Amino acid sequence: LAVVVPYRRMPSLTYYLVKIANLLSFSHIAASLPLPSERDHLRPRIDLVVFMIDIKSKYSLKNVETSLAHVDASFFLGKVCFLVTGVGRVNACSIETNAISKLAEAYCSPVLFCELELEGIRVATAQRLLRMLQICAGHIPGVSPLSFVSLMRNSDDD
């Protein structure tokens, strides 16, 4: 089984735009990690890992916690984020947001809370993820993934 490692191959910005054009429909979705190693030589470079957590499912959080062990440590320098879905239904939550915040803090990674069933929020979330992906892929001059995450963390503290 392969460990996810950054900076393998450098796709163009157009590649990313096409992949995210269908709002949160990514080209490479894995239910969990590690990724199978038999197709590793064909896999494009991975610039951003988005761990999706369904706030209504404790299994979802457990799966993410298990998968984190299979991500190269260098990804946690601004190339990982947690996307928490289902936050619009507070009465149906199985996971406390505090547990997610502690996980994100432990891995120095930002958290995006969203409700994907609402069109406007889905679009805004996709745009935020696209911007993060552009930064992580090195397509925004003068902004590194680490400095971007640092800015996000400082703005969350205010």
- Pull the structure tokens for residue 18: 């096409």
Q: Name the residue with tokens 């996307």.
A: 83
Neighbours of 68 (CB within 10 A): 19
Longest dimension (CA), the chain: 46
According to DSSP, the residues that pair with 4 across neighbouring strands are: 71
According to DSSP, the residues that pair with 113 across neighbouring strands are: 84
* Cα angle for residues 151, 126, 6 (degrees, 5° grid): 65
**pLDDT single digits (tens) 26-81:** 456 677 777 778 877 777 778 888 898 988 888 989 999 999 998 888 888 888 99
Round to whole Å and give the CA distance between 121 and 133: 18
Question: Is the confidence at residue 2, as pLDDT, over 80?
Answer: no
Helices and strands (H and E) in the chain: how many:
5, 3
The torsion of the CA quartet 147, 52, 27, 12, rounded to 10 degrees, works out to: 0
Q: If you average pLDDT over every residue of the chain, what do you get? A: 76
What is the per-residue pLDDT for 38? Answer: 81
- Pull the structure tokens for residue 45: 């470079």
Model-wide pTM > 0.85: no
Are residues 28 and 43 in contact, defined by beta-carbon separation less than 8 angstroms?
yes
Are residues 91 and 62 in contact, defined by beta-carbon separation less than 8 angstroms?
no
Q: Name the residue with tokens 């157009």.
A: 14
Angstrom CA distances, 89 to 2, 62, 100, stand at: 36, 20, 16
